[in-house]
Amino acid sequence: MYETWEELEKSIQNCQKCKLYKTRQNIVFGTGNKNAKIMFIGEGPGADEDKQGEPFVGRAGKLMNMAFDIVGIKREEVYIANIVKCRPPGNRNPEEDEASSCIDYLRNQVILVKPEIIVLLGSVALKNILGKEYGITASRGKWVEKKGIQYMPTWHPAALLRDESKKIEFIKDLMQVVEYKLEK
Ligand code: URA
């Protein structure tokens, strides 16, 4: 566990803990406010993120930005990261060994950011953070408290591209996050 961002970022620079290093263009570490109250966790970089080295800059990210605008979240005031930092080829889900060898980087990021709220984007984030027994359909929109952090599971923004009806649920889940923050 590293106590500074500099040390943590340095430790990941030449990471070869899993096979994803062989096909990556860039490590997608994370972005945003390092003292954010709200953190978003996705699954893993896609092609655009791999190219640019930044999370959620492709189609799903643009949709997420639009949802942020609607509910009044500023992208620069939150912190955004993924379960795996390197792109799984062909946008497949990260495999178990890939997620487990990468998760300590994310744990370290959470410790450094100290968020009050973590929004889990989709099933991969949900299962890797809260446990395999959670399913996204039953869990989305419902707060889970664990070790002093409030978790809000919701759809992955890419799911909204496939199914329009999920958009309104995604917005509602984000509204709960904004309202929780306003109440405090
Ligand atoms: N999907 C993710 O889960 N993360 C990204 O950074 C981009 C797309």
Dist. CA 153 → ligand 1 center (Å) = 15
- Looking from the CA of 169 toward its CB, the CA atoms found within 13 Å total 21
Residues 116-166: pLDDT tens digits?
999 999 999 999 999 999 999 999 999 999 999 999 999 999 999 999 999
Predicted structure pTM score: 0.97
54 CA closest ligand 1 atom index: 6
Nearest to 18 by CA among 107, 98, 106: 98
Quote the pLDDT of residue 138. Answer: 98
The CATH fold assigned to 5-183 is Uracil-DNA Glycosylase, subunit E (3.40.470)
Burial 93-103 (b: 16+ CB within 10 A, else e): ebeeebbebbe
Cβ contacts of 129 within 8 Å, gap of 6 or more: 41, 83, 118, 120, 151
157 CA closest ligand 1 atom index: 1
**Residue whose CB lies within 8 A of the most ligand 1 atoms, among 27, 31, 43, 54, for a mutation test:** 43
Distance CA 177, CA 175 (A): 5
Residue 34 pLDDT grade (very low, low, confident, very high; cuts 50, 70, 90) = very high
Residues 59-98: pLDDT tens digits?
999 999 999 999 999 999 999 999 999 999 999 999 999 9
> Where do the structural domains in the chain lie, given as residue ranges?
5-183
